Amino acid sequence: MTRRPSRYSAVAIALHWLIAIAILSMIPMGWWMSDAIVQPDSQALAYRVFQIHKSIGFLILALTVLRIVWRLTHPVPALPGAMKGWEQFAARATHAAFYALMLALPLTGWVYVSTGWAVVTDTPLAVATSWFGLFTIPHLPFIEHASEAARRATAWMAMGAHSKLAWGAIVLVALHVGAALKHQFFDRDGVLSHMIPVLPHGDDSHGLAPEPTPALRGAERLAGVAFVVVIGAAFGLAARPAPKVEGQAVASAPAAAPAADAAVTPGTAAAWTVDKAASTIQFTGTHTGKAFTGRFEQWDAQVWFDPADLAGSKAVVTVQTGTAKTGDATQEGSLPGAEWFDTSTYPTARFEATAFKALDGNRYEATGILRIKTTTIPVVLPFTFDEASGAATVAGKLELDRTALNMGMASDAGGDWVSKAIGVEIKVKATRQG
């Protein structure tokens, strides 16, 4: 027989309190952000709290898995012998319920965010999940790529279960704390010292409770898990979205296959070799009220330009949109998504300038066509051109309307989260060929 310790190990104690603090912080956080997310004056803060909420949720999931593995491989203190049979059953069943709950809460949350649907507004809201802004956590693919109707229904069920499981956590915490205080101040049997080592062991004159039989232990675990499953299933299945009125649903047509870009016909003006290491393509905007700056790390440019031969000048820039970086893992995880760049279907964007106009001094305009996914729009790019000894410096800025490019239209057509206006700035170093 395995010798029982008098208290939990240091690892078990640390995991217990870390998870407890995390869960207790999550409940009021969830309540607050559910209301604040629809209020214009608190929307931006609620969005950031939502990212923290998701990060803590995944932390709870990881710590819970670790705690379960530790529990299965390390003996735990026995219950006091003075406890009645039903008290022992309730204590062990409550522990089983806690473990099930600590898995179910983050898992239902993961299912919910994977749907890309906001139940509070009953509209799409595709937001990537990043762990404290450090790296992106993938959504569950069998949910993320489901039909809109399936994702909407799943979102409602997942949130119904998630929110009611939070109430289940409150009930379990109340039972757990109440029982711990009873043991400490009424029974004085030292049970609380198992998890708080500074407390005295208490009265152990009644010895230790015997190990439950395998059948009884199975019943205890089944009762605890059933408590969580019944709450999650009952309220999850009961949480049904209202029927969509006719014309309200947004059709989720499959993405059109990318058409091949036309072959580049060289210009007749002088050709240039772009120094990409010294050149940048940046984009700017606001996200939840905060300014952001991003860049594309991989792109190619073919340039023919001569101030003396503007009619023969031409430029073609091809951007690998999957290389967009902003320094924010949530943004970087969202940009490749279907409603933004949809990089899995359309890995590149292309700008082809075929008409150039001199303004004054070193200032010029390039007029061309920008293609992102299957949308094309005319673009005028003002820029400066300075050349010395065959080396040129080019700088230009323009502003794009992302809605005209069909970007973010499912989740944020109104620009409530991401600004409609997106600035683009280029800085190019190049050398004349030949």
Q: Is residue 250 part of a domain?
A: no
Q: Tell whether 214 and 331 lie within a shared domain.
A: no
- Mean pLDDT value of segment 102-120: 95
Q: Estimate to the nearest angstrom the gap between the alpha carbon of 235 and the chain centroid.
A: 25
Where does the pLDDT of residue 208 fall: very low under 50, low under 70, confident under 90, or very high at 90 and above? low
Q: Reply yes or no on whether the pLDDT at 77 is more than 50.
A: yes
**What's the helix, strand, coil split of the chain in %, to 5?**
40, 25, 35
Tokens of 251: 């059709």
Q: Reply yes or no on whether the pLDDT at 256 is more than 60.
A: yes
- What own/partner pairs with CB < 8 Å and gap ≥ 24 does 366-373 have? 366/315, 366/396, 368/315, 370/400, 370/405, 371/261, 372/321, 372/341, 372/346, 372/405, 372/406, 372/407, 373/255, 373/258, 373/341, 373/342, 373/345, 373/346, 373/349, 373/405, 373/406
- Please report the pLDDT score of residue 277 as a whole number: 97
- Please report the pLDDT score of residue 225 as a whole number: 87
Q: Is residue 52 part of a domain?
A: yes
Angle between helices 10-36 and 85-114 (to 10 degrees): 50
Where does the pLDDT of residue 359 fall: very low under 50, low under 70, confident under 90, or very high at 90 and above? very high
If one counts the domains in the chain, the total is 2
Domain that holds residue 71: 10-238
Q: Is residue 245 part of a domain?
A: no
Tokens of 256: 């059109």
Q: Tell whether 233 and 300 lie within a shared domain.
A: no
Q: Tell whether 210 and 74 lie within a shared domain.
A: yes
The residue out of 189, 223, 238 marking a domain boundary is 238
Where does the pLDDT of residue 354 fall: very low under 50, low under 70, confident under 90, or very high at 90 and above? very high
- Please report the pLDDT score of residue 361 as a whole number: 95
Tokens 């299957």 map to which residue? 374
> Which of 252, 256, 242 is CA-nearest to residue 409?
252
* DSSP code per residue over 230-284: HHHHHHHHH--PPPPPTTTSPP-PPPPPPPPPPPPPPPSS-EEEE-GGG-EEEEE
- Mean pLDDT value of segment 390-409: 97
Q: Is residue 246 part of a domain?
A: no
* Average pLDDT over all residues of the chain: 89
Where does the pLDDT of residue 201 fall: very low under 50, low under 70, confident under 90, or very high at 90 and above? low
Q: Is residue 405 part of a domain?
A: yes
Q: Tell whether 229 and 373 lie within a shared domain.
A: no
Where does the pLDDT of residue 104 fall: very low under 50, low under 70, confident under 90, or very high at 90 and above? very high
Q: Is residue 74 part of a domain?
A: yes
In this structure, the strands spanning 348-358 and 324-325 are unpaired
Q: Tell whether 173 and 27 lie within a shared domain.
A: yes
Report pLDDT digits (tens) over 278-290.
999 999 999 988 8
- Please report the pLDDT score of residue 259 as a whole number: 67
Q: Provide the CATH number for the domain around residue 397.
A: 2.40.128.110
Where does the pLDDT of residue 416 fall: very low under 50, low under 70, confident under 90, or very high at 90 and above? confident
Note whether 111 and 137 are within 8 A (CB): no
- Mean pLDDT value of segment 341-359: 97
The residue out of 182, 215, 238 marking a domain boundary is 238
* DSSP code per residue over 393-429: EEEEEEEEEGGGGT-SHHHHTT-SSB-SEEEEEEEEE
Distance CA 92, CA 286 (A): 51
Q: Reply yes or no on whether the pLDDT at 424 is more than 80.
A: yes
- Mean pLDDT value of segment 187-199: 75
- Please report the pLDDT score of residue 211 as a whole number: 79
Comparing 1-5, 51-55, 213-217, 359-363, the range with the smallest average pLDDT is 1-5
- Please report the pLDDT score of residue 325 as a whole number: 97
Q: Tell whether 234 and 275 lie within a shared domain.
A: no
Q: Tell whether 100 and 230 lie within a shared domain.
A: yes
- Please report the pLDDT score of residue 249 as a whole number: 45
Angle between helices 148-182 and 85-114 (to 10 degrees): 150
Q: Is residue 244 part of a domain?
A: no
Q: Reply yes or no on whether the pLDDT at 245 is more than 70.
A: no
- Greater pLDDT, 237 or 49: 49
- Please report the pLDDT score of residue 299 as a whole number: 98
Q: Reply yes or no on whether the pLDDT at 207 is more than 80.
A: no
Most confident range (mean pLDDT) of 26-40, 180-194, 333-347 is 333-347
- Mean pLDDT value of segment 316-322: 98
- Mean pLDDT value of segment 300-324: 98
Percentage, residues of the chain above pLDDT 90: 63
- Please report the pLDDT score of residue 251 as a whole number: 43
pTM for the full predicted model:
0.80
Side-chain half-sphere CA neighbours of 231 within 13 A: 23
- Please report the pLDDT score of residue 234 as a whole number: 78
Report pLDDT digits (tens) over 21-65.
999 999 999 999 988 888 888 888 998 899 999 999 999 999 999
Q: Is residue 125 part of a domain?
A: yes
Q: Tell whether 198 and 281 lie within a shared domain.
A: no
- Greater pLDDT, 35 or 245: 35
